[in-house]
């Protein structure tokens, strides 16, 4: 499954690896890609192992807010 998140708090490129690492270390996440310029975060994951709220919590744990997005 692919979940799209969006964050308006990405204020420097150094936040990209922090968020990607946090998401990629979650069990059930196959890949996470952060697009700094747009604030878009794409996460490929097994929905039975990790849901959207856990993805958002992982982003929050490294200091950023994110919301589920349709684009």
pLDDT given at position 71: 59
Question: pTM, whole model, 2 decimals?
Answer: 0.93
pLDDT given at position 62: 97
Spell out the domain ranges in the chain: 2-68
Across 29-50, b (16+ Cβ under 10 Å) vs e yields: beebebeeeebbbebebeeeeb
Distance of CA 21 to the CA centre of its chain: 9
Q: Per residue of the chain (71 residues), what is the pLDDT tens digit? A: 999 999 999 988 999 999 999 999 999 999 999 999 999 999 999 999 999 999 999 999 999 999 999 75
CATH architecture assignment, domain 2-68: 2-Layer Sandwich (3.30)
pLDDT given at position 70: 76
């Amino acid at each position: 499954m692919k979940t799209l998140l969006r964050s308006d708090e990405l204020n420097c490129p150094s936040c990209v690896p922090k968020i990607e690492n946090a998401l990629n270390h979650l069990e059930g996440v196959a890949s996470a890609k952060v697009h700094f310029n747009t604030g878009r975060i794409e996460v490929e994951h097994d929905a039975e192992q990790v849901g959207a709220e856990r993805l958002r919590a992982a982003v929050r744990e490294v200091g950023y807010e994110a919301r589920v997005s349709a684009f």
